[in-house]
Chains A and B, each alone.
Chain A
Amino acid sequence: MRIAPFWPLAAATFVIGVAATFYFNEYYFVAGYLVLQGLIMATAWNILGGFTGYVNFGSAGFFAMGAYTSVVLYTAINPPLFVVIPAAAVVCGLLGLGAGYLTLRLRGVYFAIATLAMAIVLETLMVNWEYVGGAIGAFIITEDVPFFASYNAYLFVLMLALAIGSVALARYLNFSRIGRGLAAIRDDEVAAECAGVPTLRLKLISTTVMGAMMGVAGALYPYFVTFVEPVSAFSLIVAVNAIAMPMIGGTSTWVGPVIGALLLGSVQEWTKVNISSELNLLIVGVLLVGFVALAPQGIVGLAQKFAAWTREQREKRRGDDSATA
């Protein structure tokens, strides 16, 4: 049986990532962690946005609910991380299912508006909930872990594993029967329904997976920053990045968000340090609008177009050669 090059590549990435924690200094893991966080968010957004064609503006809400699940568990019993992560996935998966169930039977735009407003209401809830610190915020105290150089290195490796898992899941959804059903919904929902595609069930699967994945991305956030308060957890930049990364990379396949996240994430970390963090936000916004308007298929689409163009040129040249001969 032939193994897709994806798996050895994923394994190699993970091994290199783990090895790197022993050679580079702390800054790279902090930056790398943030890039990976963006990558998971982008991959999750794209399952609904790119594969199914429904826009989620409330990514920050799902992310923050993942983070707050961690805070609640930490305050209550402080369980190990391998309990926290699945718990966040379940909470946010259910949140996605609920939001989808209430609004996905209507036109897609209502879902988009509902998710946007939902993020704001969830923020209000967290501000009013004393148990998780309310508006003041909550502290998380982390303990040292064996084997790893530092706690951040440990979180980076965890995040790397989660990111690879997320991409693998998105890749599976992309190629599976479910993925074909989702693509059918994106292209023409009525036609898909008529052809016997269970549209509502597939849409609900895809919102649930999206929510769960975003929850996972947020679950480690309290441990990473060690202090959570509503304004930074529900930050708009999380939602903007989740949309901008797939849009810039290309939304139609699982590869797009990965490329977009690695590129945009790295650019952001670079500008934050070398220019300013406000300008960094402006760059993200301008890139998003620019790509959406001028290159709707993203970088993947541009690359495909370029490949087609060079092939055409080559064929034309061959045609010229044979004509002159």
Chain B
Amino acid sequence: MFSIDLLSNALVAGLLLGGFYAAVALGLSIVFGQLDIVNIAHPAFVILGSYVVYMTNTALGWDPVLAGVLFTPLFFALGVAVYRIYYAGFERTGRESLAGLAFFFGIMFILEVVIILIYGVDYRLVEAAYIGQTLRIGIIDLPYRMLVPFITAMAMTGGIAFYLSRTFTGRAILAVSQDRLALELMGANPIRIKSLAFGIGLATAAVAGALLIIIGPVEPSFGRLYIGRVFAIVILGGMGSIKGTLLAALLIGVSESFVQTFVGPSWADAVAFSVLLLTLVVRPQGLYGRL
């Protein structure tokens, strides 16, 4: 029962899962980690991404990954709009702690209910040629429904990391969280930079949603399971460090995969919370902490 076969497959499955988690947490890592905006509706936007991809896949036969990428401009615009409302209503007046949280909680709830009203509570899935196929290397199974999300997630994470560290606006996003006044003195408008960053954060949700529905069927309340997970990843990763986020995502993916294989599938959801609680108690600044 405790064979090398099982162990190595659990490890690989965990890494693939973790890579996908990085894609889900990436947007939150920017929004919560860099901008300090507690967007608890992020997983709900990921589910929205899954449903728009589902819609184009069933109606027009688009490839899910392609659809996810094509929807990023729309999600970017949505993100800019949400941030503008948040800024005008909460950030400017200094009410972000209580009212801002309630605002995102309300948005999460509205998104879920609207999806239920349109599509009902049934599970939905997408079709593509590679879903259901498996690549076998030696004793290791690599199902394409996990491999494709993993590769896409890595590409997106790499792209975002590159953008943040090498371009002017990317660095401005990192700067806005560190010293707002200094950024203003450099001639950048912090509100514009923050809108841009929030937009990018939500744009990643469109792709993450596509990956989510490739991995398995999705139903409207699915996002709730991801709240603990993504916040655990972002906090463990050290609030906004892309490298940290990736590492934390892989760590949680592997732990979940082991728990799933050796303890039982229904316990896997509790892993992220335990990690979250442990992080908060033992090392609140995360792996790559800046506090």
- Which positions in A face B, CB cutoff 8 Å? 49, 53, 55, 57, 102-103, 106, 108-110, 112-114, 116-118, 120-121, 124-125, 127-128, 236, 240, 243-244, 247, 251, 278-279, 281-282, 284-286, 288-289, 292-294, 296
Given known contacts A55-B98, A106-B280, A282-B110, is B267 in contact with A117 (CB within 8 Å)? no
Instruction: Please report the number of residue pairs spanning A and B whose Cβ atoms sit closer than 8 angstroms.
Output: 121
**Given A124-B270, A282-B110, A284-B109, A113:B231 Cβ within 8 A:** yes
A103, A128, A251, A281: the one contacting B113 at CB < 8 Å is: A281
Interface membership of B269, Cβ < 8 A: yes
Closest residue of A by beta carbon distance from B231: A113
Are A120 and B273 interface neighbours, CB within 8 A?
A: yes
Main secondary structure of the interface of A (DSSP, over half): helix
Q: List 7 A-B contacts (CB under 8 A).
A: A103-B277, A112-B40, A121-B269, A240-B105, A240-B106, A289-B110, A293-B85
CB of B171 within 8 A of chain A? no
In the bound complex, do residue B109 and residue A240 qualify as a contact, i.e. CB atoms below 8 Å apart? yes
A153 to B97, CA, bound (A): 41
The interface residues of chain A lying within 8 Å CB-to-CB of B273 are 117-118, 120-121
0 or 1 for each of B249-262: is its CB under 8 Å from A? (1 = yes): 00000000000000
Given contacts A57-B40, A110-B284, A282-B114, contact A243 B231 (CB under 8 A): no
Contacts of A57 in B (CB 8 A): 40, 101, 105
Question: For residue B3, which residues in chain A have a CB less than 8 angstroms away from its CB?
Answer: none
User: Which residue from chain B places its CB closest to the CB of A231 in the assembled complex?
Assistant: B221
Inside 8 A of A120's CB, which chain B residues have their CB? 224-225, 227-228, 269, 273
Q: Which of B24-57 contact A (CB under 8 A)?
A: 38, 40
Total number of B residues with any Cβ neighbor in A under 8 Å: 43
Interfacial chain A residues near B97, Cβ < 8 Å: 53, 55, 108-109
* CB within 8 Å for A278 and B228 given contacts A110-B284, A128-B267, A286-B110: no
The interface residues of chain B lying within 8 Å CB-to-CB of A121 are 228, 269-270, 273-274
Hey, which bits of chain B sit against chain A, CB under 8 A?
38, 40, 85, 89-90, 95, 97-99, 101-103, 105-107, 109-110, 112-114, 116-117, 221, 224-225, 227-228, 231-232, 235, 264, 266-267, 269-270, 272-274, 276-277, 280-281, 284
Given contacts A57-B40, A102-B277, A112-B38, contact A117 B106 (CB under 8 A): no
**Once the chains bind, are A49 and B98 in contact (CB under 8 Å)?**
yes
Counting from the closest, the 4 A-B pairs by CB-CB distance are A117-B228, A289-B106, A285-B110, A288-B106
Q: Please give me the residue from chain B that is nearest to A186 by CB atom.
A: B98
Q: How far, in whole Å, are A243 and B107 apart by their CA atoms in the complex?
A: 13
The answer to whether B116 and A278 touch across the interface, beta carbons within 8 angstroms, is yes
Candidates B90, B117, B276; contact of A282 at CB < 8 Å: B117
Q: Chain B interface secondary structure, helix, strand, loop or mixed?
A: helix
A113: contacting residue among B38, B274, B281, CB under 8 A: B38
List chain B residues, Cβ under 8 A from A108.
97
Q: A117-B228, A281-B113, A282-B110 are in contact. Are A243 and B272 (CB under 8 A)?
A: no
Give complex CA distance A102, B276 in Å: 11
A236-B112, A285-B110, A293-B85 given; 17 more Cβ-contact pairs under 8 Å: A53-B97, A103-B277, A109-B97, A113-B40, A117-B273, A120-B269, A120-B273, A121-B273, A128-B264, A236-B221, A236-B224, A240-B105, A243-B102, A281-B113, A288-B105, A292-B89, A293-B90
Bound Cα distance from A124 to B277, whole angstroms: 16
- Shortest distance from the beta carbon of A139 to any chain B beta carbon, whole Å: 22
Cα distance A128–B259 in the bound complex, in angstroms = 14
Closest Cβ neighbor of A234 among chain B residues = B224
Q: Are A117 and B280 in contact (CB under 8 A)?
A: no
Chain B residues with CB under 8 A of A243? 102, 105
